[in-house]
A and B are shown apart, each in its own frame.
Chain A
């Protein structure tokens, strides 16, 4: 391909311009490392999850029943394709922790078979011992909840189910494949191990507490390999028809599984989107560098052709420059990819505390990343290489003649400037004398600016979504939930407490909505329309009055709703003694909500609807929102815990803190991305601006020779390049805005889009920071080159051929 002497030429030229080519190699390195690193995390997480699910036999589907004998599970076992079945008795409970001033939290008590090993949803014992015997007063506690509250084996806690209470001893702490990510339902975004505890007890123990001896209300099934879980689920559902079964919940909709799969999909998108972006920018930058190299080396190309090098040999020589940069970048990327993959995998898997951890070394992805890098460099180098070969040798060996024809320049048309001294007009004229060069330079800088802005812009959007959510949903200081409906008069009682500035009753229930054949599970919030804290508005900010059913963004999108449409509301079967009753409701309004799947009704209307199905107090609520004076918080919390039927008392501040702790990892990841983006931005802007200065050697020498002062020449070059940078910054900020939108759509998988309405929102601080960074780099990048050039040997520089 290229013989020894030409290789030496190539290598030395790349070394002489090492900062420019090095910055491109850096971009390629980061692209490869990011792709393979994130892919490694994705693969490790995927493998570990699948291994955990397989090892602990996470259910393939579950069917909730109204009430059935334990033998119903045995009947399901006979179906073809069933590898294992467990009948369970599952009840929502209130937990009381502590004896002196017990704290009340919500929980789920799961009664399981203890006389033999579980066939489905096996438990991984972390500390203590397993349950022995059928009727014991012992439980196994889910580990995240246990760790959060400092609970250990042999500690006791009190469980309340309706009016029944039982004191239970923690026999052991476990991890369950169902609760790797601890959330109560699929509609929740935030993990809730701080306020929601999951306990496993002997089925007989739960039966004794609830008076349902020998009964089950849930069947969990593990399907044999090679069988379609959905078909087996359908058969099981038919078999259990006598027990009023809910539609089967397949594994993909199991809450923890669902959230973790969404995370995997998000990672997969990350692994592709950002590297493709980085490599695209590196393609353009390398293309620019090579085109300029070839322009500078016209006479060298002419010489090589004159010596007898063929077009192919000349092309391959310059293509080798591109490939070399790609190989160097790719090779640098390998150790970084391995380090990144290992670090991210260990960090994330430790955070999830998976029962089975299997790390994957992404060799294939490293190979793919390397191939992508080489492909990118081939793409960037191909056109310049072809152009090099097309240079006619005779013309190339001559000094280049000026552009034929009149050169259109902008400075002649601008008022004031068109009368100014030539020195002040030259920067603008120089930009307009070669539009192609200017456009490529501006584009290169714009891409750098876009990269610097991207991660910050995504973070801004994310922070806005979360801030909106907390402002709308958690505007109160405290919230208490009741295990049974209460009369709203309790609110007046709470308002009279010392330290309570304001209190409002809430009624929140899970509901099913149906429009046509489309159904959706949502959360119904029944609110007093005259509440001073009610904030319902559209995306434009226009307020929405609560005069009937009002639906949130996500519900609207999922059911394709418009104002005036009719939907059918029903309560979930587990809340009812009889079959659910569908009630039509007209959509009165649509509101902008960033997180959650919520619908709103005026409380009076909701109560009318509820009373048709369940017995409720006349003016029922199931929670109270409180705004309090901070110094009375402890007193108020104690008083709340002493109320009858109190479920959980949640402080918004703690929720926000908890969220911030959990979010810390995601934020670290974004800071990492921001760092990447800024390094790339610096590299791109540096390359473009430095080239723009260095290729002006002959011109600078001419200006100095005809008695321009160094200061004036300095200022001329600086102002021209800063004009270039400014154009690039303006374009880049616009591109950045667009790219943030694209990134959000690509990265946020549709499953998360079900729960989050993610819109781009970029703060002025991000725009300002990005612009200042870019200008700063643009300015600083020129200084070393300018300093060197203004001290050049004028004679030597003037003799150089102009390219």
Chain B
């Protein structure tokens, strides 16, 4: 059995804005093992993205601890957080978040500049099937192509953990399946832990570990033993 990579203990997150208080997560306990393909499911506003942000070091819990590879990141300083994200996390966003004034190649290079031993940008472009489009700007790429660039950017720093927030949300089903296949390949072949947040329950069918969230609480956790091929999924 693979070791536990990420452990959340009694994690709560409360957002306060003037007089308004929003409790996004309530005392969540969650363990994720290395190499798992985790899908976090739930309706809008259930706390999925908050969970992802806490694991990814983009935010800190109001209560509880977040351990990643044994290190408690919940009390990291800003600089420690930046370094944690740089070396441990790769992000893939729903809206791609590519920088419009940089080409596909340069968007990947932007992340590569941060580490001493990045992966080869050209190899990654090839791996995601965009060698021919490397010098195009995001405005010249389709949604699927942009998301593939985003995935390549997420991988270039060799992060052990890949966090994907609704990566197929802006894509049609065919393109979405291609992206899902890519993420699964990364998980299966390279052993990276992938945590994918979605409201699309069909995607959960390919996961090793499914976490269902509702109203900031874990409603259920399952570990499917059989996963259908991505091509067979319908949404």
- Contact indicator A9/B101 (Cβ below 8 Å): yes
Judge if A71 is at the interface, Cβ distance under 8 Å.
no
- Contact indicator A392/B59 (Cβ below 8 Å): yes
Judge if B79 is at the interface, Cβ distance under 8 Å.
yes
Q: How far is the CA of A305 from the CA of B86 in the complex (A)?
A: 9
Judge if A309 is at the interface, Cβ distance under 8 Å.
yes
In the complex formed, the residue of A with least CB distance to B115 is A308
Q: Contacts A310-B78, A392-B59, A405-B18 given; indicate if A303 touches B97 (C-beta within 8 A).
A: yes
- Contact indicator B85/A307 (Cβ below 8 Å): yes
Q: How far is the CA of A392 from the CA of B81 in the complex (A)?
A: 12
Judge if B91 is at the interface, Cβ distance under 8 Å.
yes
Q: Which residues on the B side are within 8 Å of A306 (C-beta)?
A: 56, 58, 85, 89, 91, 97
Q: In residues 16-74 of chain B, which contact A (Cβ within 8 Å)?
A: 17-18, 20, 49, 53, 56, 58-59
- Contact indicator A308/B83 (Cβ below 8 Å): yes
- Contact indicator A4/B97 (Cβ below 8 Å): no
Nearest CB of B to A695, in Å: 15
Interface centre among A16, A311, A393 (most CB of B within 10 A): A393
Nearest CB of B to A139, in Å: 77
Q: Which of B104-112, B124-132, B172-180, B209-217 contacts A (4 or more CB under 8 A)?
A: B104-112
Q: How far is the CA of A398 from the CA of B44 in the complex (A)?
A: 14
Q: Contacts A305-B58, A308-B157, A404-B20 given; indicate if A5 touches B102 (C-beta within 8 A).
A: yes
Q: Contacts A5-B102, A303-B99, A392-B59 given; indicate if A308 touches B18 (C-beta within 8 A).
A: no
Q: How far is the CA of A12 from the CA of B103 in the complex (A)?
A: 11
Q: How far is the CA of A320 from the CA of B38 in the complex (A)?
A: 41
- Contact indicator A5/B82 (Cβ below 8 Å): no
At the interface, is chain A mostly helix, strand, loop or mixed? helix
Contact of B113 among A3, A302, A394, A796 (CB under 8 A): A3
Contact of B114 among A309, A404, A405, A796 (CB under 8 A): A309
- Contact indicator A801/B95 (Cβ below 8 Å): yes
Q: Which residues on the A side are within 8 Å of B109 (C-beta)?
A: 4-5
Judge if A166 is at the interface, Cβ distance under 8 Å.
no
- Contact indicator A8/B102 (Cβ below 8 Å): yes
Q: How large is the interface on B (under 10, 10 to 19, 20 to 34, 35 or more residues)?
A: 20 to 34
Q: How far is the CA of A796 from the CA of B138 in the complex (A)?
A: 12
In the complex formed, the residue of B with least CB distance to A4 is B113
- Contact indicator A9/B86 (Cβ below 8 Å): no
Inter-chain contact count A-B, CB under 8 Å? 83
Nearest CB of A to B234, in Å: 26
Q: How far is the CA of A5 from the CA of B102 in the complex (A)?
A: 8
Nearest CB of B to A118, in Å: 73
Judge if A6 is at the interface, Cβ distance under 8 Å.
yes
Nearest CB of B to A398, in Å: 8
Judge if B136 is at the interface, Cβ distance under 8 Å.
no
Q: How far is the CA of A397 from the CA of B109 in the complex (A)?
A: 20
Q: Which residues on the B side are within 8 Å of A473 (C-beta)?
A: none
Nearest CB of B to A478, in Å: 74
Nearest CB of A to B119, in Å: 14
Q: Which residues on the B side are within 8 Å of A16 (C-beta)?
A: 101
Nearest CB of B to A412, in Å: 22
Nearest CB of B to A304, in Å: 8
Per-position contact with B for A291-327: 1 when CB-CB < 8 Å, else 0?
0000000011011011111110000000000000000
In the complex formed, the residue of A with least CB distance to B98 is A303
Q: How far is the CA of A5 from the CA of B58 in the complex (A)?
A: 23
Q: In residues 255-312 of chain A, which contact B (Cβ within 8 Å)?
A: 299-300, 302-303, 305-311
Nearest CB of B to A589, in Å: 67
Which 7 pairs from chain A and chain B are nearest by CB?
A308-B86, A12-B101, A394-B58, A394-B59, A310-B82, A3-B113, A308-B85
Chain A residues with a Cβ under 8 A of chain B:
3-6, 8-9, 12-13, 16, 299-300, 302-303, 305-311, 392-394, 397-398, 404-405, 796, 801
30 A-B contacts, Cβ less than 8 Å apart? A5-B102, A5-B110, A8-B102, A9-B102, A16-B101, A299-B95, A300-B97, A302-B97, A303-B97, A305-B58, A305-B85, A306-B56, A306-B85, A306-B97, A307-B86, A307-B114, A307-B153, A308-B82, A308-B84, A309-B82, A309-B86, A310-B79, A311-B82, A392-B59, A393-B59, A394-B58, A398-B49, A404-B18, A796-B139, A801-B95
**7 extra interface residue pairs, beta carbon distance < 8 Å, beyond A300-B99, A307-B86, A308-B87:** A6-B110, A9-B106, A300-B97, A306-B89, A306-B91, A308-B83, A308-B157
